[in-house]
Copies of this chain bind each other. A is one copy, B any other.
Amino acid sequence: MSKLNDVLNLIDTDQDKAMERLFALLKIQSISTDSAFATECVKCADWLVDDLKSIGFDAMRYDTPGHPMVVAKLQAGGDKPHYLFYGHYDVQPVDPLELWNKPPFEPQLEDTPDGQVIRARGAADDKGQLMTFVEACRAWQKVNGSLPANITVFFEGEEESGSPSLIPFMQDNMDLLKADLAMVCDTSMWDKNTPAISTMLRGMVGEQFTITGPSLDLHSGMYGGPAINPIRVMNKILAGLHDDTGRITLDGFYDGVSEPSDAIKKQWAALNHDESSFLGDVGLSKPAGEDGYSVLEQIWSRPTFDVNGIWGGYTGEGFKTVLPSKASAKVSFRLVGEQDADKIQETFQRYVQDSLPPDCSVEFHSKDASGATVMPVDAPEFARAHAALSEEWENDAVYAGCGGSIPVVGHIKDILQMDSLLVGFGLDDDAIHSPNEKYSTKSFHKGTRSWARILDALAN
């Protein structure tokens, strides 16, 4: 324990410098989905390589057809376990920029009623989170001249844009990445005082599609009536995907969806999830998902369909009585249990095709499809990580579901045959895909301490 105590003490005294390092990382505009920021992504990867080298890692940037990967290794010795830590250095776009109170890439500390926060794009998703692990390694190495386990760090730069290079890279570099267990820091706490280990993740199917009707934009007076309006076609197709009870109408969509076991339901009920404050925090009062399920069930155990973006016709200032040639949408399904992502993608495309009236055509741009993931919570590593987390936060850690999708966890399982330990320190109000993203200073500090404890608990 004395080694660990020294590590924890160093983390405490080094906190200002750790914050400076995080701020430097947050200033890099690594928006992966917009090709205008490609050089920023490279800059971000290089920054991480340099920082990992400064700790003692053997670190390298691996270029891909998209944004680069970073892989770094630091050996503790042959008899020690080997862990792969995964994080992503890319961030979400910042629009609508006018809703940010401060520039998104000029990180600042801000005092709020809930304590001090780091305000910046990527603060919580995922730069602040991945640096908790890096800082834990730095302190271990500095205090002891070695890490408690063999560590491979693996950072990608395309998590927010469908990870097009991830699967090929993992397939081509299995030996480089293979370890005993993966660790991922891209999830949330149960609440600001209660840490969590995520035990299930929803899968995702994403599609962008464009419906074309007339071959050019028309005047709605001259052609309104006989000319088909692709926005009208789009509205009808999208509106047809939910029935009146909130269920999704696609053929066979619920194949592979099962009810959680009674034990899990009981555990979830014991969490006493505060639905009204969860919804109230974002201006809502009534659950809008499937009838007959609690909010937690709607997020953790039920699949969804959402339109993430829609556009067509004239969207500028004033009016333009255009009957447009095209309408487009970005949509996504969140999947649970054993739902077959590829089959759902195919069924959705067929549904759209079959719904088209005469003279309309559709073009699809698919995002990778990935199924849901369930973790082996009975494995001994989970119990030890649970104890370490509970000790750091002086509060029993929760085994929680997670409504989000972290496709890499599925790929780690499929390609590298490894399970993942998902521990994260985000909070529900971090606004991670919204303006004014933040990460609690406490999450950053105690998150770093948590990883120091987890490494100690798992390796010894």
Contact = CB atoms under 8 A, between A and B. Distances in A.
Interface of A: 32-35, 92-93, 95, 99, 160-162, 188, 202, 204, 206, 208, 213-229, 231-232, 234-236, 238-240, 242, 275, 278-279, 282-290, 295, 298-299, 302, 304, 306-324, 327-328, 330, 332, 334, 357-359, 367, 402-405, 428, 431-435
B310 A231 contact: yes
A402 B402 CA distance: 57
Given A334-B220, A434-B218, A287 B226 contact: yes
A313 B309 contact: yes
A225 B405 CA distance: 14
A278 B218 CA distance: 12
B432 A357 contact: no
In the A-B complex, the 5 residue pairs with the smallest Cβ-Cβ separation, listed nearest first, are A221-B404, A33-B318, A215-B283, A225-B298, A309-B313
B299 A225 contact: yes
B206 A288 contact: no
Per assembly, the copies of the chain total 2
Contact of A357 (B93, B288, B322): B288
A296 to B, nearest CB: 9
A318 B288 contact: no
Nearest to A214: B282
Given A236-B239, A238-B232, A202 B217 contact: no
A326 to B, nearest CB: 10
Nearest to A158: B318
B227 A433 contact: no
The CB with the most chain B CB atoms within 10 A, among A322, A332, A359, is that of A322
Given A216-B282, A307-B231, A307-B235, A32 B318 contact: yes
Given A231-B309, A306-B321, 19 more contacts: A35-B317, A162-B318, A162-B319, A188-B222, A215-B283, A220-B308, A221-B334, A222-B432, A224-B403, A225-B290, A226-B289, A228-B286, A235-B235, A239-B240, A288-B357, A308-B320, A308-B322, A314-B330, A322-B434
A161 B319 CA distance: 6
A309 B317 contact: no
21 contacts: A93-B316, A95-B314, A217-B435, A219-B432, A219-B434, A220-B304, A225-B299, A226-B275, A226-B288, A226-B289, A226-B295, A226-B299, A286-B357, A286-B358, A288-B359, A309-B312, A310-B312, A310-B313, A310-B315, A310-B327, A313-B330
A177 to B, nearest CB: 25
Nearest to A231: B307
A214 B283 contact: yes
A223 B299 contact: yes
Contacts of A298: 225-226
Contacts of A226: 275, 278-279, 284, 287-289, 295, 298-299
Contacts of A32: 318
A35 to B, nearest CB: 7
B238 A242 contact: no
A3 to B, nearest CB: 37
A227 B279 contact: yes
A152 to B, nearest CB: 26
Nearest to A238: B235
Contacts of A320: 33, 92-93, 160, 308-309, 330, 433
A435 B323 CA distance: 13
A95 B330 CA distance: 22
Nearest to A332: B321
Contact of A306 (B224, B309, B318): B224
A372 B393 CA distance: 71
Contacts of A324: 308-309
B93 A314 contact: yes
Given A299-B223, A306-B232, A358-B285, A311 B319 contact: no
